[in-house]
Structure 1
Amino acid sequence: MTWLTLRNLPNFITICRILLVGPTVWAILRQRFDLALALFFAAGVSDGIDGFLAKHFGWTSRLGSLLDPLADKLLMVSSYAACAWTGLLPLWLAALVIGRDVLILAGATAYYFLLHPFEGQPSWISKLNTLLQILLLLALLWHHGLRPLPVSLTDTLIYAVAATTTVSGLHYLWSWGRLLLHQVWHV
């Protein structure tokens, strides 16, 4: 029996998505924004496909539950860093987005090692933040790779991402802090 069975197809697709991170970042850094847009779009489509397969057919696994968010975070953090490096995004926004993800990762890791494993569920503000982060990257890559968009659109998305990143980061900090207090000190 081989590793690549239909049941493992979502994990294989996720691994392919992880492999798209390097070429996507390369394309952004080389200012091949049309190629970066195509790769970023392909990664997004593959995320939808592997999620559909996992949920619809019950092809979920512990590995998949770890790889899928890892693939998403690698693509987003790397793309934001590359866009800031090339001047497409303000450095402060990339630092905010990356800082939030580092905060979440550090909190989840600390919780795991100090208490026990958990199944994290993203809040609605976190889901909105992810959607806005994706829309901002797509808009920037479209604007620089295919056709100019109104500057007001990208500016609005920049400030919407900044606001939702801040609020969702504070929400995670508050939620996990309360949970930690409750479980450790029964407050």
Structure 2
Amino acid sequence: MNLPNKLTVLRVIMVPFFVFFMLTDFAGDASKWIALVIFCAASLTDMLDGKIARARNLVTNFGKFMDPLADKLLVCSAMICLIPSGQLPAWVVIVIIAREFIISGFRLVAADSGIVIAASYWGKFKTVSQMFMVIVLIADLGGVFDTIGTVLIWIALILTVISLIDYIAKNVEVLTKGGM
């Protein structure tokens, strides 16, 4: 297994630790900050694995498949953890997760036809916006950051919808070839 794929696997492994600290007071008031550090570290592995894979020509089908899945696990887990605090409306999380299920369905149909579909730039912008949104919402610094958090929620939501439309438009042949 190459380094980018190891980073992707590491990101998946970090998710339960992140969720544990987000949902418990195991470390008292520090739990939120530990969760934030874990989330930031996991988010950085997302940036690093792609850069390393492209720079060293280490792009693999495993990476094309698992990297977006690892992102979904991390970001969706974080968003679900933010619902009880009221920082993120459940309907926004439902829209974002619905998009992820739709795209995952596309990928499964494509994989059944021997096609591996890598993430698009819109999908990458969507993921980055969601990660920034989660960071600001977890930090919960108040004041102007509340407004920034609200703006980031809307940006993430809009990019989620745009990336879904782009993904479907570019890959509609997967549905017709997949026998759907």
The interval holding the TM-score normalised by the smaller chain is 0.7 to 0.9
Q: CA deviation at 1:23?
A: 0.8
Task: Give 1:88-103 correspondences, 5 Å limit.
Answer: 88-103=87-102
Q: CA deviation at 1:91?
A: 0.3
Paired with 1:99 and 1:70, the residues of 2 have a C-alpha distance of 14
Q: TM-score, normalised by structure 1?
A: 0.79
Going from structure 1 to structure 2, the CA distance change for 1:82 and 1:108 (only over 3 Å counts) comes to same
AA in 2 matched with 1:131: V
Paired with 2:20 and 2:107, the residues of 1 have a C-alpha distance of 30
Going from structure 1 to structure 2, the CA distance change for 1:48 and 1:168 (only over 3 Å counts) comes to closer
Alignment match, 2:76: 77
1:30 and 2:24 aligned: yes
Alignment match, 1:112: 111
AA in 2 matched with 1:15: V
Going from structure 1 to structure 2, the CA distance change for 1:141 and 1:21 (only over 3 Å counts) comes to same
Alignment match, 2:139: 142
For structure 2, list consecutive stretches of 5 or more residues without a partner in the other structure.
26-30
Q: TM-score, normalised by structure 2?
A: 0.82
Identity %: 27
CA contact (8 A) 1:29 1:86 kept: no
1:160 and 2:159 aligned: no
Paired with 1:184 and 1:56, the residues of 2 have a C-alpha distance of 33
Q: What is the number of residues matched between the two proteins?
A: 173
Q: Match of 2:83, SS?
A: helix
| Aligned with 1:132 (options 129, 132, 151) | 129
AA in 1 matched with 2:21: A
Q: Which moved more, 1:134-143 or 1:159-168?
A: 159-168
Paired with 2:60 and 2:178, the residues of 1 have a C-alpha distance of 30
Q: Match of 1:175, SS?
A: helix
